[in-house]
Amino acid sequence: MNKITFHFEEKNKDSITIDCPKGETILELSLQHNLGLHHNCGGVCACSTCHIYVQQGMENLEELSDKEEDFIDRAISPKLNSRLACQCLLLKDNATVEVIIPNQSVLLGD
């Protein structure tokens, strides 16, 4: 079983760690646990609203594609460890991944 820890830039939210099997995306996990991660395109890599920062465990996720990289460039405050949660498929078992969900209140519609 994998352990995914979600940290939040928003100060009023506590970190949460979730156990999950491989084959799930970070976006799917965030939706299953009502973490409030935006996903305007429905998780098909057509926007940048599910932008996250991977702090640990990037090697346990599917590799960054050219298409994903193009959308990350459009995200608010992209960094070298930026990913789109809809594209972060867990590939391994017994992995540990830590991500930061940026402040979602800066996105339109919140």
CATH number for position 90? 3.10.20.30
The arithmetic mean of pLDDT across residues 82-93, rounded, is: 97
Name the residue type at position 66.
D
- Domain total of the chain: 1
CA distance linking residue 52 with residue 22, whole number of Å: 19
Question: What is the residue range of 49's domain?
Answer: 2-106
pTM metric for this prediction? 0.92
Residue 104 pLDDT level (bands cut at 50, 70, 90)? confident
CA distance linking residue 96 with residue 76, whole number of Å: 26
Beta pairing, strands 16-20 & 51-56: unpaired
